[in-house]
Chain A
Amino acid sequence: MESSKKIVILGHFGVGKSSIIRKFVDNVFSTDYKVTIGVHILKKTVQIPNRKSISLIIWDLEGTDNLELINKTYLLGTHSFIYVYDVTRPLTFNTISEDLEILKTTYPSSLIKIVGNKVDLLSNSEKKSHQILFKVETYLSSAKTGENIEFLFQDIAQELDN
């Protein structure tokens, strides 16, 4: 039995949203930075433990530093949001609580996951202090090494199935 879920990935410019998706869908990483314009849509089917498959239809939105500027119709009917920031650029996570509040208020039934990307650029001690800084549950990932990418989407698929 297969069901489909809409996943929307958003966050500031250059935080690695498209790289995370490319790593997850095609297992590819490239340092060439190509700006996403509008929206890019990809799909991957994941298997969850009860032998069910879930098709994740992933909407990769162009980067923005203001969630209010996103075309609202792109966000409608979303089962899970993935909010990505860059662990090395505070500018990309300074407004995280306000942004999450907007998402929680506007889309109360959607699952929200927070991802701190480019964790491969942090030392172990920096990684620890970063985890302390963020009290909310955050996935520290790296599109480059693949750290926590598969895990993130598996978690989402399972939670959406419950």
Chain B
Amino acid sequence: MEGIVRKFKSKFTGVEEESLILHELAKTEIIEIFIIEKNSGLLKANFSKSDTIDKEVLSAMLTAIKSFVEQAFNTGEEQLESIEYGLYHIHIQNFKSFYIAVILHGVYDSTYKSKLKSKLLVFVGKNISNTSNSNLNIKLAEAFNNGII
């Protein structure tokens, strides 16, 4: 059934069937989301599908890497927006006093990036200013499970 749908899609969109298969295989999946205080690198909230490395140490390390890059290249107002390693990407979205790091794998093209940016903006607008840190974890999980992020 999937094959037939793909054939139709290929015919109507003009995109080769092989490309569609590759795109499906590399479907984007969000692994973890971190909300991190910009200055201190302390973790404000986190949503994770796995329970591996210490989240607080990871938040601090990400902040150190971000600080190093921004300072080393003397980028002024420019801020680090993504890190890539193998098939994984870390999308970084900066706000005034915090930033959000989304760890994902799969396709991370400009279309996906732009959609993700908008979703995070909506989430922040709705939740961050009027939610305490303890509730933020719940809000983040809800947003993920409901497909808001």
Q: State the A residues within 8 Å of B (CB).
A: 4-6, 38-39, 41-43, 55, 57, 59, 71-74, 76-79
Contact = CB atoms under 8 A, between A and B. Distances in A.
Interface residues of B, number: 17
Given A41-B57, A41-B64, A43-B57, A77 B39 contact: yes
B42 interface: yes
A57 B60 contact: yes
Q: Which 8 residue pairs spanning A and B have beta carbons closest together? A: A77-B40, A77-B39, A73-B67, A76-B39, A6-B40, A41-B60, A71-B71, A39-B64
Nearest to A58: B60
A51 to B, nearest CB: 18
Max chain B C-beta neighbours (<10 A), residue from A72, A73, A78, A79: A73
B30 interface: no
A5 B68 CA distance: 21
28 contacts: A4-B56, A6-B40, A6-B41, A6-B42, A6-B60, A38-B64, A39-B64, A41-B57, A41-B60, A42-B57, A43-B54, A43-B56, A43-B60, A57-B56, A57-B57, A57-B60, A59-B64, A71-B68, A71-B71, A72-B71, A73-B71, A74-B67, A76-B39, A76-B40, A77-B37, A77-B38, A77-B42, A79-B40
B43 A4 contact: yes
